Amino acid sequence: SFHSIIKKELIFHETFATREETKHRIFEYIECFYNAERIHSANEYMSPMAYEKMYQQGKKQ
């Protein structure tokens, strides 16, 4: 699940000094990595950005 992925890939690998730092790093992880770069099976094992690019190119043809 999404929450277990965050725990495995972020939380268990870092030590955070404050709650605010934790919230900031989780936000960065989700917005900058998970939603943009991480491959997803629902996207034919492509990153969301690559899948979106492929989709947009297909719409133009």
Does the structure show a pLDDT above 70 at 41? yes
Region 3-31: mean pLDDT is 92
**What pLDDT is recorded for position 20?**
97
Residue 44: which residues within 8 A CB-CB, separation 6 or more?
A: 51
Does the structure show a pLDDT above 90 at 24? yes
Name residue, tokens 């790093």.
25
The β-bridge partners of 36 are: none
**What pLDDT is recorded for position 15?**
93
pTM comes to: 0.63
- The count of residues in the chain is 61
Does the structure show a pLDDT above 70 at 61? no
Phi, psi of 58 (to 5 degrees): -70, -35
- The CA R_g of the chain, rounded to the nearest whole Å, is 15
Both structure tokens of 29: 């992880």
Average pLDDT, the chain: 89
